[in-house]
Amino acid sequence: MKVGDRHYHSIWLADDGWGVEIIDQTRLPHRFEVVRLETLADACRAISDMLVRGAPLIGATAAYGFCLGLRRDSSDQALLQIGEQLVRCRPTAVNLRWAVERMRLVLAPLPAETRVEAAYREAGRICGEDVATNEAIGRHGVELIRRIWEEKEKKTPVNILTHCNAGWLATVDWGTALAPVYRAVQEGIAVHVWVDETRPRNQGAHLTAWELAAHGIDHHLIVDNAGGHLMQHGMVDICIVGTDRTTASGDVCNKIGTYLKALAARDNNIPFYVALPGSTIDWTLTDGREIPIEERDQDEILRVWGREEGGDLTRVSIAPEQTPAANPAFDVTPAGLVTGLITERGICPASREGLAGLYPEEAGA
Ligand SMILES: CSC[C@@H](O)[C@@H](O)C(=O)COP(=O)(O)O
C-alpha cells in the first residue's frame, strides 16, 4: 500500500536478489526505516522483537528466513534446525508453523545444492499468494460494509471498529481486517474507523492509525476501553478484527482485548466479524483454550515509547518501580461471539460446518 507516493509491500527481496528488506515496525509511526536481513538470526530477531509482526507477515518472514539459513547450510539436518529455530520465535500465530511446514515440504525432496534457489522461489510464491488472498478478503468483506452503507441510505459513513493492526503492515499487502476498508474506500463507500489503541504495544496507535492516515481514510484513535461506550451510543456499525490462529470450530485468537470487544458487540447487537486467510486456521485444534498464548516481557506494560516534542524517541516508566506486570499478548474469542469469518474464499459462520464448507479439502484431511 502507500507510503508517501510509493507503493510498498511490507517485505521484499533486495536488489541484489538475496537480501531481504522489511519496514522496522517498532519505529513507526515516528520513523520510516527499512532494515536489511542477511542471516537466519536476523530473520529470527525481526520476528521475536516484532520489527515484523501480524500473523501473515510473520509467516512470510519465516519463509525468507528459511532462504537465508539455507544459504549457509542446505543439508537435511539444517532444514530441520532452521525450521525449529524459526518456530520458536513466536508461539501464537500459526502462520509461522504453516510457512515452515510448507517450506520443508517443498525443499526436503530436493537435492541439497538446489534448495536455496527453490526456497527463494517458494518464499516469493508465499508472498504473492498472500497479496492475492488479502485482496480477495477485501472483495468479500466489502459487501458487509456496502450493505450497511445502503441501510444508512448512503447518508452517513459506516463506522467500523478495529483492534490491533490487521492492515497491510500485518500482511504482505492489503491486510486482513483492513482489506475490506481499503476496498470500500476505492469503491466510494464512506467509512470512518475507530482505532483501538491496543495496549501495551499500541499497534492501533502506531500502525493502524499510520496506515489509515497515509491513505487519507477518516479515523479516530480511541483508548482500548472506549469501544463499549461507543457501541452503546450507536456509534459503531460493525467490528472487524484479524486473528493469529483460528480453530477448526471457529474460535479465534487475536490480540489481547479482542474478546472484550466481542462481548460488548454481542451486548449491543453489533456484528463482529473476523477476517483471515486460510493459512491462519489451525485444523489440528477444535478448542480455542488449547492455543498457546504468548507471554511477553513485563517492560512492555511498565514503560511506554513515544516521541518527545523535540523529535527524539524516548521511553518512560508509568508504574511504581516495584510493581510487577503480567503481559498475555493474545486472547481467545469463542466462536459463539463471532458473527462470521471473512476469508479469501467467502464469508462463513464461525463454526466447524462453516469452515468445512469453504475448505473441504482441509476439513476432511
Ligand atoms: C492480519 S493480522 C491478524 C493478527 O496477527 C493481528 O490482529 C495481531 O493480533 C497481531 O499481533 P502482533 O502481536 O502485533 O503480531
**CA 57 to centroid of ligand 1, rounded, Å:** 9
With a 6 Å cutoff on the Cβ, whether 60 touches ligand 1 is no
Q: Phi-psi region for residue 173, left (φ > 0), alpha (ψ -120 to 50) or beta?
A: beta
Q: Tell me the three cell numbers of residue 39.
A: 542471516
Q: Binding-site residues for substrate, please?
A: 53-55, 90, 203, 254-255
Where do we find the cell 456496502?
Answer: 146
Complete edge-to-edge strand list for the sheet that includes strand 20-23: 11-13, 20-23, 34-37
The pLDDT, as a whole number, for residue 106 is 98
Q: 23: part of which helix (H) or strand (E)? A: strand 20-23
Residue type, 68: L
DSSP state of 250: -
Q: Tell me the three cell numbers of residue 275.
A: 477476517
- Is there a catalytic annotation at residue 282? no
H helix runs in 205-276, sequence order: 209-214, 227-232, 258-267
Catalytic annotation, pick one of 42, 196, 244, 251: 244
Q: Which domains does the chain carry?
A: 2-128 (1.20.120.420), 139-363 (3.40.50.10470)
With a 6 Å cutoff on the Cβ, whether 11 touches ligand 1 is no
* pTM, 2 dp: 0.97
Check the CA dihedral 321-323-328-334 and report its sign.
negative
Q: What angle do CA 181, 28, 185 make, to 5 degrees?
A: 15
Residue type, 361: E
3-class secondary-structure state, position 302: helix
Tens digit of each residue's pLDDT, the chain (365 residues) = 989 989 999 999 999 999 999 999 999 999 999 999 999 999 999 999 999 999 999 999 999 999 999 999 999 999 999 999 999 999 999 999 999 999 999 999 999 999 999 999 999 999 999 999 999 999 999 999 999 999 999 999 999 999 999 999 999 999 999 999 999 999 999 999 999 999 999 999 999 999 999 999 999 999 999 999 999 999 999 999 999 999 999 999 999 999 999 999 999 999 999 999 999 999 999 999 999 999 999 999 999 999 999 999 999 999 999 999 999 999 999 999 999 999 999 999 999 999 999 999 998 76
The pLDDT, as a whole number, for residue 364 is 77
**Rounded-to-integer distance, Cα 216 and Cα 214, Å:** 6
With a 6 Å cutoff on the Cβ, whether 54 touches ligand 1 is yes
